[in-house]
Amino acid sequence: MAETTVAALPKGFRSAELGWPELHRIPHPPRRVPLIGDVLGVNVRSPVQDSMRFGRALGPIFRRKVFGKEIVFAWGADLAAELADEARFAKHVGLGVANLRPVAGDGLFTAYNHEPNWQLAHDVLAPGFSREAMEGYHPMMLDVTERLTDRWDREQAAGRSVDVAGDMTKLTLETIARTGFGHDFGSFERSQPHPFVNAMVGTLTYAQRLNAVPAPLAPLLMRGAARRNESDMAYLNRTVDAVVRSRQSSSGDGDLLDRMLETAHPDTGERLAPENIRRQVITFLIAGHETTSGALSFALHYLSRHPHVAERARDEVERVWGDTDRPGYDQVAKLRYVRRVLDESLRLWPTAPGFAREARQDTVLGGVHPMRQGAWALVLAAMLHRDPQVWGADAEEFDPDRFDAKAVRARPAHTFKPFGTGARACIGRQFALHEATLVLGLLLRRYELRADPDYRLRVTERLTLMPEGLRLHLERRAPAPDSVRPRPVARTGD
């Protein structure tokens, strides 16, 4: 927790000039315009990709200013390692993340460091991601994947391509809803996305767009968007309230919602308040499916573009899983090459593309840049993961062997950060990695993935990253085991 007292905490956006006494040392884009800043040649819908472009031109630390809001970005491996030091820096809730607080409040992802509900929720919910809990989720992950493959079998038989991002979103939403909250959104029975997905995308997009608008003008320029955002937030709240009410009138099976409703902190005896439970459920439903669906979508894109990688991964699946209909929990971790494919996809396109860190006390970053207490920088993970000093001259290329165990051991710490860093890193990262590795293994075993030769990777941004317009053609493999048919199981760079 930051040493800053609660009373002294600054409110609202903190522009860089307030915390960086020697800001002139940090380069900025060359065509800065008075009053409006570094806006020439940028796209309001792709701030991350614009920042990556500036990072390549300006170096491992740079700044951008838009309508009086100035932000320091860092992506060099040495600077990122310093910012990951929990003794000197803590999570900073800013930019689009803070814009989500009207709906997510002091949930795990959006809580300020001084808010007590973060630690309370973390301690109550951490056992929900233990090995024992994960084993219990595994059969449900298999069942949801069977719903996906049923859908894909029908599309393949009809000669239609599949909407990768849309179907991965359905898959991951159903997985977190069933495993965490005992709820079924019926996503695969719908021809259109569930309204929850539309509302979620709406709130994320609004939070992103709000960053690029001058605060005094936002009520005027974003009046319609603000109304839609209010409607989206209200829908998210109503949906979650209905899920919680349903559980309160029935018995659960020890999932995350049960823990929220029934578990007291082991030391203090405190319980989560009803409003905070709503915020935590919204946090898990959004964060628990949005980033994983993006990771799976990027991985499937790269597998379709690199058939030799797909074949090597498929060989591993067949060697490790054999002819078992339903791979067991422990068999997933043995897919080491499949996991490398996933990690390499997350390296090139971390679906949570950055994380902000603030100084706990006055300090100096990189021995050059003084920072006052509370000053912050955005670690641009999408560029950290492409630092040629760490990843080599071919850092823009897709190569899963970068995550061979020997190569991982040889790299400095804090160079691969798709889930954030430190005490506030994603609590569900092992859940996401297990789910994504399992799904990739099942899909590789069942299908040949054929890319559209005319498709070029486009990335859409809504705080998270996702391939845009990605469709794949499928070929059923023969013999193709019916790998995920439900059976009674004990609950345990382009």
SS (H, E, C) the chain: CCCCCHHHCCCCCCCHHHCCCCHHHCCCCCCCECCCECCCCCCCCCHHHHHHHHHHHHCCEEEEEECCEEEEEECCHHHHHHHCCCCCEEECCCHHHHHCHHHHCCCCCCCCCCCHHHHHHHHHHHHHHCHHHHHHHHHHHHHHHHHHHHHHHHHHHCCCCEEHHHHHHHHHHHHHHHHHHCCCCCHHHCCCCCHHHHHHHHHHHHHHHHCCCCHHHHHHHCHHHHHHHHHHHHHHHHHHHHHHHHHHCCCCCCCHHHHHHHCCCCCCCCCCCHHHHHHHHHHHHHHHHHHHHHHHHHHHHHHHHCHHHHHHHHHHHHHHHCCCCCCCHHHHHCCHHHHHHHHHHHHHCCCCCEEEEEECCCEEECCCEEECCCCEEEEEHHHHCCCHHHHCCCCCCCCHHHHCHHHHHHCCCCCCCCCCCHHHCCCCHHHHHHHHHHHHHHHHHHEEEEECCCCCCCEEEECEEEECCCEEEEEECCCCCCCCCCCCCCCCCC
Given the residues 298, 419, 421, 464, select the one marked as catalytic. 419
Amino acid present at 71: I
For residues 141 and 492, give the distance between their C-alpha atoms in angstroms, rounded to a whole number.
Answer: 12
The burial class, CB within 10 Å (0-12 / 13-18 / 19+), for 174 is: buried
Given the residues 203, 291, 292, 464, select the one marked as catalytic. 291
**Is position 437 annotated as part of the catalytic site?**
no
The burial class, CB within 10 Å (0-12 / 13-18 / 19+), for 212 is: middle
- CA quadruple 166, 169, 173, 174: dihedral, nearest 10: 60
Given the residues 54, 284, 426, 437, select the one marked as catalytic. 426
**Is position 419 annotated as part of the catalytic site?**
yes
For residues 357 and 253, give the distance between their C-alpha atoms in angstroms, rounded to a whole number.
Answer: 37
Give the pair of three-digit tokens for residue 259.
Answer: 């823990």
For residues 423 and 303, give the distance between their C-alpha atoms in angstroms, rounded to a whole number.
Answer: 33
**Is position 403 annotated as part of the catalytic site?**
no
Give phi and psi for 116, each to the nearest 5. Answer: -65, -25
Active site (catalytic) residues: 291, 419, 426
